Amino acid sequence: MLLLFMFAMTANAVVTRPVANMYSGPSAEKDVVSQAIYGTNIAILEENAGWAKIRTPDNYTGWMPAASFLSGPEYAHKRRVARVSTLFANLYRETNITKHQPLLTVPFETRLEVVSEPDAEEHRWIQVRLPDDRAAWVQRGDVVFDPRLLSISEMVEFARRFLGLPYLWGGTSTFGYDCSGFTQMLERQRGIGMPRDTQPQADWTGVTQISRDDLVPGDLLFFGSDKKITHTGMYVGGDEFIHATAHITPVIQVSRLSDPHWTELLVACRRVK
């Protein structure tokens, strides 16, 4: 019984880097397959010489350096939680932005455990507990409580907030998204848990196949070949789609579907059910 209890206590871990890479194997020389952001609860599946094979809440697995997380109970599980709603949020040791540099800068969607929430009329700061038990302060304007789910039209408009952010292979945060990480994040704002990678997204039972002529804003586009899908984006209307791409300019951008480059590569259109 004691061994089972110890295992249960150490099976969970919490990411302590603003964004932590996940690799295909236990080495930084391996390719990056995804990322997990600060405060994310992850499951430890296997350990190997300073590395751990982990599983993220969206059931994605990969290897992460042990220095990127702390083993222990779930973070932001029992207390009130604030979620970063701006592209980035600075976390400070005190309610003064001039005395010291931020303790951390964390990305959009970071979840923070609230310790103290002074009256909004008098105080613009919220005190939070970090995964390593340090206290920190975040400005109220950087976070929301119980964020509401977006409609499809709201999600399409919301996507434009990310224009110009860098493309990053394996990226899942505002420090850098890859194409499927970006569309997965957008659908998450609707409360929809979509697979992480492009091919699984296109094959997912949560989408239905549609034709190019039937596209409406919010539909997903998949590019590549009949045998392998390698890129995705979201249709925003007017022959345009938004996507994270390394093509020409490696940023999140709006492109035209009628551009010969993208027309030739388009292989599937999907609508989330």
100, 123, 243, 269: the catalytic one is 243
Q: Which two tokens stand for residue 115?
A: 């310790």
The number of beta carbons lying within 10 Å of the beta carbon of residue 245 is: 21
Question: What does the alpha-carbon distance between residue 167 and residue 178 come to, in Å, rounded to a whole number?
Answer: 6
Q: Which two tokens stand for residue 88?
A: 């980035």
Active site residue 243: yes
77, 100, 179, 261: the catalytic one is 179
Question: What does the alpha-carbon distance between residue 134 and residue 258 come to, in Å, rounded to a whole number?
Answer: 52
Q: Could you give the residue ranges of the DSSP H alpha helices within the chain?
A: 2-10, 152-159, 179-188, 198-203, 260-265
The answer to whether 44 and 13 have CB atoms below 8 angstroms apart is: yes
Active site residue 231: yes
Active site residue 269: no
The answer to whether 73 and 113 have CB atoms below 8 angstroms apart is: no
231, 247, 261, 269: the catalytic one is 231
Question: What does the alpha-carbon distance between residue 17 and residue 81 come to, in Å, rounded to a whole number?
Answer: 19
- Classify the phi-psi angles of 172: left when phi > 0, otherwise alpha if psi is within -120 to 50, otherwise beta: alpha
Residues annotated as catalytic are 179, 231, 243
